[in-house]
Amino acid sequence: MKNIKMMVVGFASAVAVTVALSTTLLAKSDVPAVSETSVEASRLQSLAKFTKVLGIVEQYNVDGLTIDQLIDKALQGLLSNLDAHSTYMDKQSYDSLKSQTDGEFGGLGITVGMRDNALTVIAPIEGTPADKAGIKAGDIILKINDKSTLSMTIDDAVGLMRGTPKTPIDLTIVRKGAAEPLKFHIIRDIITVESVYTRKIGGNILYIRVTSFDKKVAVDVRTAIKKHAAKSNGIILDLRNNPGGLLDQAVELTNLFVSEGVIVSQKGRNKADDISYSATKSAKITDLPLVVLVNEGSASASEIVSGALQDLKRGVVVGEKTFGKGSVQVVMPITETEAIKLTIARYYLPSGRTIQAVGVVPDIVVASGEVKNHDNQFNLKESDLKKHLESELQKDGGMLDVTEVNATNKTIITPEQLDKDIQLREGVDIIKALIIVKGK
């Protein structure tokens, strides 16, 4: 999605057209508007109007801005008024974007987007300062330090939140259900994301957590499945709070579970932007039962994966409705230090449905929270009887404290941890049912 290499193609022709139009405009700037109905005449009239307004503002605006400053503001206004994701990037924001693609940067560790014209947290990245501070998906950022985010662009907001590691920043948050705005004091840090990690549940269920779609996600998931598949009867793929990333990684990850069919397609104004991505039989590596976990922090690439697996009847999607970011942005350099990010198409899932502003609705909707246990302390068990038979563990020299052993084991998810995550617990129950149905 933010693939800079993709965007270089066609740049020269775009510049040539811009130069040609500008030359024509300057040559005809003093000519009265013509009454021709052709498209070309209409374009020239519109460009002449823009130049006239630009000249008036340059001459009479109280702040005396330079022509370069006015052009930058005009570009910012043009792109930001198209949609929530298109934007003009000056040198600072363009450098910031390129540092993101390198996989390490200084900041808070949150992905943001615009929802109903409000700066909204799509998801905190696991283990980052924002995540540790308690920032949650769906939070609305009202202020960054003392600056209001009203009418602020996403890139301006990101620019304010990024900064030198170990420096502080204050966020004022509006959270659903909270009586008043919440204030968070966070210390910036270097954000290095572990995109894929695995755990075992109950000995025979493989849990795979994907936090973002960087350039190694598909390879890492493939490696994890091959390593554990022989001893696994089912897979839980956790895409919760995953804000997305690279499209090709979403396609390749989905292809690990399916052997045929369209995974995702994109359609834009120009036919050249219409692309369909299909599965290949050779890339599939497993038929194990699959559950996919999502929530409102799952966006973009994670919506493509969960939606495609749902449409292709390959996995059961569990959790909450996803964010709904299903548009395609490309980054087009306009100078060596500046670029524009432009929405050129929308994504469509195998069934033909769109993700944009709709999201993926889980097959089984489960709100986040903890499992409520109602233990009856007055129940009698075999072990409570005076003459109960000893277990094999007791015969071998005493009871084994399994909870204590599991607490130090970072390769498994314990029953106690499951009780703190009702969505994951529900996913485990569904996988167990699928395993039984499949006859494992």
Q: At what angle do helices 67-80 and 39-60 cross, to 10 degrees?
A: 130
3-state DSSP call for residue 421? coil
Catalytic residue among 311, 327, 341, 421: 311
Nearest to 115 by CA among 141, 88, 78: 141
Whether 200 is a known active-site residue: answer: no
Nearest to 191 by CA among 243, 126, 240: 126
Catalytic residue among 86, 300, 306, 327: 300
Nearest to 77 by CA among 162, 156, 160, 159: 156
Nearest to 121 by CA among 129, 130, 369: 130
Whether 311 is a known active-site residue: answer: yes
Alpha helices in 383-421 (DSSP H): 392-395, 402-407, 415-419
Nearest to 214 by CA among 127, 138, 303, 100: 100
Distance in angstroms (rounded) separating the CA atoms of residues 134 and 184: 8
Distance in angstroms (rounded) separating the CA atoms of residues 58 and 66: 7
Specify the pairing of strand 316-319 against strand 290-294.
parallel
Distance in angstroms (rounded) separating the CA atoms of residues 383 and 376: 16
What single string gives the DSSP state of each residue in 236-262?
EEE-TT---B-HHHHHHHHHTT-SSSE
Residues 237 and 291 sit within 8 Å (Cβ to Cβ)? yes
Nearest to 150 by CA among 188, 116, 184: 116
83 by Cβ neighbours in 10 Å (0-12 / 13-18 / 19+) ranks as: middle
Catalytic residue among 136, 325, 341, 432: 325
Q: 151: which 2 tokens?
A: 């009418």
Q: Please tell me the number of Cα atoms within 13 Å of 164 on its side-chain side.
A: 1
Whether 300 is a known active-site residue: answer: yes
Name the residues annotated as catalytic: 300, 311, 325
